[in-house]
A and B are shown apart, each in its own frame.
Chain A
Amino acid sequence: MFGYVRPYRPELKCKDFDLYRATYCGLCRCLRRRYGLIAPLFLNFDFTFLALVLWEAEGQAEFCRGRCHANPLVKKTMCMDSPALELAADESVILTWWKLRDSIKDDGLWGGMPARLLAGLLRRSYKKARVRRPGFDQSVKQCLEELETLEGEKCPSLDRTADTFARLLQSAAPNEGEQGRILGQLLYHLGRWIYLADARDDLAEDLTAGRYNPVAARYGPEGDEAALALTMDQSLGQMGAALQLGEFGCRKVLLENMIYLGLPLVQRAVFDGSWAQIKKQKIWRNDT
């Protein structure tokens, strides 16, 4: 939901990078076809990851050429629609909607204005997505409510708060069969990792503003960077172990790149503060 999950380009083969890009563009196309012009504006790297893991293993990617939504003068290679891509598109809309709702609540009357405006634009898309995936919408709503309660109580347990967001992401995978179990475990720890990375990223800001921050609540004002990094590493380890058990076909290499190289790099950047700059880059560059 925050653009943390991206590939590390220098270690990707061209064909794998092309596949990544085609998935990104394909998801954009799918959002446009299902939801119109607004929804594709919210596309980000994390949703692309979701599309990649949800893809049927045997499904050979079919490509087409199409005009880029952001720049209609350019034609790009895109993945054709598939059930997995549609699932990822629907879930992206739902996740974006709830993230906007969250910002509106957090940022007050004036600060929340941009989010309120965007939510207004997205409302119709969200209503469509909610009808298509009622189960996912319910679980996102419920998990965020639990999270809000815990944050209100200033919960000192890192795991308990992260668990809500982890379960939220876990519910993005269809819960059936072996592959479903594997995806559930992978997405649970991705959600946990994202929640912790985001909490660490907001730490300084939250401390200044006197807001609740789960990392500060767990490790105190002094903080314990090593312990936080270790617990995040452990989630990365669990993700790697789950990835190796699943069937991901030609997307395996791309997913390995993201989990073994991309996420650790982002984690390092979040800890040393360079993330604020890097996250604005369109493509994960290697000059860090």
Chain B
Amino acid sequence: MRDPYSVLGVSQNASDEEVKKAYRELARKYHPDNYQNNPLADLAEEKMKEINEAYDTITKQRAGGGGYQRSSGYGGSYQQGYSASGSSSYAQIRNLINAGDLATAEQLLFEINQRDGEWYFLSGSIAYRKGWMDEAMQNYSRAVQMEPNNMEYRQALAIMQRGAGGYRPAGYGGGMDSLDCCTTMLCLNCLCGGGHC
């Protein structure tokens, strides 16, 4: 296992507070919410596991081996894939999507004639994984329209509606609007040298 301190990106002499802060930042970055239905979700999950283990190891060491429990709320289990519900072919399609076999999933889905909310939801999920965001939006919207009370569908749509939202490192939060005229002037001054800082 890698050195837990280097996993969190802090030095061995970092204070408890610094360790916690580094852990929180990383946990925020790789939080399952940021990678829901993302084709790279498995990699984010691994990162999250590594970070959690590193933090646990450090806190245990520092507490002198006393069974320390992680106090913060980032235990966050990855909701790996979907829970099966409804008909068995939908369950099979969900499994295929989770396994990343989108072509077969799509094929099976198109063999179903009865198109209900779940059909559109799964169709949206396949599109999302492929990166076809426009079709994913349309299908999720349709699913929510047909079954407005289904939380799963509504959540999927809500994630899409936040656009480029999700994790941002510190300093990239507010976008351009956070620049006031003073910083703009300062920057212009430092640009004059043509980049020979």
- Say yes or no: is B90 at the interface (Cβ < 8 Å to chain A): no
Q: Which residues of A contact B132 (CB under 8 A)?
A: 159-160, 163
- Say yes or no: is A29 at the interface (Cβ < 8 Å to chain B): no
CB distance from A85 to the nearest CB of B (A): 20
Main secondary structure of the interface of A (DSSP, over half): helix
Interface residues of B in 139-176 (CB under 8 A from A): 160-169, 171-172, 175-176
Contact, CB under 8 Å: B35 / A17: no
Number of chain A interface residues as a range: 35 or more
Among B29, B134, B137, B176, the residue within 8 A (CB) of A244 is B29
Interface bits B1-43 vs A (CB < 8 Å: 1, else 0): 0000000000000000000000000000110001100111001
CB distance from B126 to the nearest CB of A (A): 12
CB distance from A170 to the nearest CB of B (A): 9
CB distance from A4 to the nearest CB of B (A): 16
CB-based nearest B residue for A9 = B191
Interface residues of B in 179-197 (CB under 8 A from A): 179, 183-184, 187-188, 191, 195, 197
- Say yes or no: is B91 at the interface (Cβ < 8 Å to chain A): no
Contact, CB under 8 Å: A158 / B188: no
Q: Which residues of B contact A233 (CB under 8 A)?
A: 163-164
Among A14, A231, A240, the residue within 8 A (CB) of B166 is A240
19 interchain pairs (CB within 8 A)? A14-B197, A159-B127, A163-B131, A163-B132, A178-B43, A181-B39, A182-B40, A189-B131, A192-B133, A233-B163, A234-B160, A237-B165, A238-B131, A241-B40, A260-B168, A260-B172, A268-B176, A286-B179, A287-B184
What 5 pairs between A and B have smallest CB-CB spacing?
A233-B163, A14-B197, A10-B187, A159-B132, A260-B172
Residues of A within 8 A of B (CB): 8-11, 14, 17-18, 21, 157-160, 163, 166, 178, 181-182, 185, 188-189, 192, 218, 227, 229-231, 233-238, 240-242, 244-245, 256-257, 260-261, 264-265, 268, 283, 285-287
Residues of B within 8 A of A (CB): 29-30, 34-35, 38-40, 43-44, 47, 127, 130-135, 137, 160-169, 171-172, 175-176, 179, 183-184, 187-188, 191, 195, 197
